[in-house]
Structure 1
Amino acid sequence: MAEAIITVILTQLAEITREKIRQKVRLVVGVTKDIEKLTSVLESIRSVLVDAEKRKVKDESVKLWLERLKDIAYDINGVLSEWLTAIRKLKTEGVEDSSLSKKKVCSFISLPCLGYRRVVLRRDIALKIKDINERLDIIATEKDRYSFNTSMESGDTGRLKTNSYIDVSEVRGRDVDKNTLVSKLLSESSQSHGFHVVSVIGMEGIGKTTIAQMVYNCASVEQDFEIRMWVCVSEPFDEVRVAKAIVEDLEGNAPHLCELETLLRRLRNAISGKKFLLVLDDVWTYDYRKWEQLFNSLKFGAAGSKILVTTRNERIAKMLRSSHVLHLEQLTDEDSWLLFSQTAFFERSKEDCEGLEGIGRKIADKCRGIPLNVKTIGTHMRFKNSLQDWQNVLNSEFWEFEGAEKVLFRPSMLSDFDFP
């Protein structure tokens, strides 16, 4: 259960940071650093949990370490849940007080009270965060004694390389998004040369790669562009690797070249005067200097060329000067159910499907419309045969954590649902 809780906590910390920036929430001196430290330590602990879970079976001391970690994780979750609730409440009260101020009704009473509550909240949270960091330091120190392997060392970097192929029959709820994106890619620009950038933005697991694959393989898109290229950018960003991947896609084989200049010359020659579609999937780098040389070479393509970018960060879409941005939203409840049922009920009898549908819909709803979560949990449930197994998952305490609805499930977390 440790990885699931820590993932929820990291999600909460990210949300608090966003709210702090958005609302210009001031913190007690030093708490910002405490939050950064808490995030860093939790990330380092999460990276060893796969190995720790394996070793606890034979090592009682590791099992006890995981139990202590879970205890403090529950406490952290409680503090952060309290903080998030208070931030949202103060935000609502702030809007109300602002409205009162505009009407000049009792604002001299309401605003000082609101300010006082904010000061008390900041001090209270500051003390709790400092105490948590002190306790977590002990857990982190003990972690180092075990010399755990990290997820990176065990080959699990957290990101899979993508490709352009997709079985469209398995996708649910994205027809409107697909049609919108296709129309933007096929629209002609007034430019006499060069390209336009179209970006798809959304949280992890929401289906950005899926929608890019759908439009990439759409018949009208295939007909409209002379050349289509697909590159999984991801991290760490490497200009030479990206340029080499584009040239390899164009020429059908990997060029034995290491110099960026040579690669970009090959790229310019290959696309010169031709209308192309280039998909840059999973972009993280927002330093335009790293893109500039590549993009200058891509300007040799014909008018109407497009670059389709998928990213989690709207800042990247702006940096790349996107002419259109599609914000990908969660699936509807019905589409989530359709995706869940086709996965969880694979090769089940009609009687089994009917008997599990009611509880299955409730489990699908808890995935909050995140397609990757729906498919991951659906695949997990495919191997759960009894109604009690399904009830255990539905009643898991994990769903009760604030922030759990935003967590992306990992295979190593799924055993946490098997409560007796």
Structure 2
Amino acid sequence: MAGVLVGGAFLSQLIDVVLDRLMSADAINFVVGKKLSSDLVEKLRTALKDAGALVDDAELKQLDNHDVKEWLNCLRDALYTADDLLDRICTKAATQKVTLLGRIFNSEDRQMVNEIERVVRRIEDLEKRKGKLGLEKISTASFSWKTPSTSLVRGNVYGREDDEKALIKMLNDNNEHHLSVISIVGIGGVGKTTLAQWLYNNAELMVGFDRKAWVCISENFDIVETTKNIVKEISTNTQDLDSFNSIQDALKKELSEKKFFVVLDDVWSNDHHQWKDFLAPFQYGVKGSTILLTTRKEDVGSIVQTNYHRHYLNPLSEDYCWSLSVFLSCT
């Protein structure tokens, strides 16, 4: 009987969850003290990024290397421990009363600090084993591992039937508005891009749209380059695009009196002024025109457009991920 494979996508999601918890700096400061928490948070963040960059390679090599599979299991257990510790810290910070004398650092707090230090060492030790196991880092520049996306479907969408129905409803509800924005919000690796690909390539749902475009944004939101890429997607005439004004004018002409569906994948910017300038050509479409965003930041869509619908994409359950890994390994 085939053993259960540890899914790299699941571990990436779990790492993102722990990293998100580390953003609760006030809670950590309150429980373990500012100076100590600053050092611990930085050490844990670094350890998570270093070990996390090995996950994709380990996922492939676990198929014929038992030691790598065991490495992934150990990393998963360490991540669960870290997540549980940070959850306890946040809960304590939310419920702890502060006296006039302030808050006394007690034995329970010291124990939490010791536990965090131990889990940091566990993750650091796992990262140090990369040479012995032959593991290579997929990315050292950032934790995202995000490569420029494509609209082409890479496979079926498993376990997302309810999410698909929710997006279809949002798309249909947009038919009374000239421009609507839908954002798929979720942590890294949860499947936002895959779901957007499914929608973009669903011929039945795309009936009636005159123009379609897919552009990957990522962390550097260059509105000139992004606008130019959209024009290239929907027009064969890309001559004389030598200024932002000419690029926007070309896009306006292509979208005027048309119903369009534009996907902006992996959006990070919440700069209101940038978005205001960027969206100017999109105001000339007909009812039902839609911009679909995928983003980790829930406030992006509301800044982009008034008629806005947000859909949170939650991680699949661990049991489902394991079952899916076994299923795919047998097909």
Which residue pairs with 1:207 in the alignment?
Answer: 191
Q: 2:147 aligns with which of 160, 163, 182?
A: 160
C-alpha distance after superposition, 1:317-374 (max 9, x if no partner): 333246211222345xxxxxxxxxxxxxxxxxxxxxxxxxxxxxxxxxx73445xx76
Shift in Å, 1:209: 2.1
Name the SS for the 1:233 alignment partner.
Answer: strand
Count of residue correspondences: 305
Q: 1:185 aligns with which of 165, 171, 177?
A: 171
Q: 2:82 aligns with which of 80, 93, 110?
A: 80
Report which structure shows greater RCO (CA 8 Å, sep ≥6).
Answer: 2
Instruction: Give me the whole-angstrom Cα distance separating, in 2, the residues matched to 1:78 and 1:167.
Output: 30
2:272–2:303 Cα contact (<8 Å) kept: yes
Question: Which consecutive unaligned segments of at least 5 residues does structure 2 have?
Answer: 1-7, 59-70
Q: Which has the larger radius of gyration?
A: 1
Which residue pairs with 1:315 in the alignment?
Answer: 299
Instruction: Give me the whole-angstrom Cα distance separating, in 1, the residues matched to 2:264 and 2:222.
Output: 13
2:255–2:281 Cα contact (<8 Å) kept: no
Instruction: Give me the whole-angstrom Cα distance separating, in 2, the residues matched to 1:181 and 1:226.
Output: 20
Paired residues for 1:11-410 under 5 Å: 11=16, 13-18=18-23, 25=30, 27-42=32-47, 45-46=50-51, 80=82, 83-84=85-86, 86-87=88-89, 90=92, 94=95, 119-126=106-113, 151-152=138-139, 158-166=145-153, 170-188=156-174, 194-252=178-236, 257=241, 259-321=243-305, 323-331=308-316, 367-369=318-320, 378-379=327-328, 381-382=329-330
Question: Which consecutive unaligned segments of at least 5 residues does structure 1 have?
Answer: 54-68, 98-109, 332-365, 384-420
Instruction: Give me the whole-angstrom Cα distance separating, in 2, the residues matched to 1:255 and 1:119.
Output: 69
- After superposition, the Cα gap between the structure-2 partners of 1:320 and 1:120, relative to the gap in structure 1 and judged at 3 Å, is farther
2:19–2:45 Cα contact (<8 Å) kept: no
C-alpha distance after superposition, 1:275-304 (max 9, x if no partner): 211111221222233322211221122233
Shift in Å, 1:31: 3.1
Instruction: Give me the whole-angstrom Cα distance separating, in 1, the residues matched to 2:28 and 2:126.
Output: 33
Which has more helix, going by share of residues? 1
Name the SS for the 1:176 alignment partner.
Answer: helix
2:22–2:86 Cα contact (<8 Å) kept: no
Question: What is the TM-score of this pair, normalised by structure 2?
Answer: 0.67
Equivalent position amino acid for 1:166 in 2: V
C-alpha distance after superposition, 1:49-78 (max 9, x if no partner): 59x99xxxxxxxxxxxxxxx99xx899869
- After superposition, the Cα gap between the structure-2 partners of 1:181 and 1:128, relative to the gap in structure 1 and judged at 3 Å, is closer
Shift in Å, 1:28: 0.6
2:302–2:308 Cα contact (<8 Å) kept: no
